[in-house]
Structure 1
């Protein structure tokens, strides 16, 4: 049975495959895909949350006078933008069942 583990950075569950996708029998692939589609459907909302966080951070950055704090805020923005990119990659991941 396939486990799905929560990725703390992305805040979604990801499949924890122990072997190559094509090595799973079709009935297991089907079960994995059903669960993945449920998770995949939550990704756009997670992206919206991160975009909102970036907007708030950009507001903070525009009001920040301290250089070191500005660098820290930029790092947070970069981390969230990176997570959005990774979420889009996962969203586009769509394995197929092989008989």
Structure 2
């Protein structure tokens, strides 16, 4: 009986560990600059919300995302945007029109 309990506990710990590792990207990422801001929320069900505030005007959209290696690809409103990470999803980086932006996980 004790061996069975130990086996079940070991499997439970492994499953929890795998779940946490496989969802390292889930959460909210933010950046602000001169009163403007970007927030990207990645949910566990591969849906996401992207919110941008520019000059006091806030716009928000919902979409979906996929993760492959160190790349997060967000699809929303017919647009596709790709973020990369080099620190296990503590930050997401994007470069567009020659401007680099780093979003930090909160």
TM (norm. structure 1) is 0.29
Higher helix share: 1
TM (norm. structure 2) is 0.27
Higher strand share: 2
Higher relative contact order (CA 8 A, sep 6+): 1
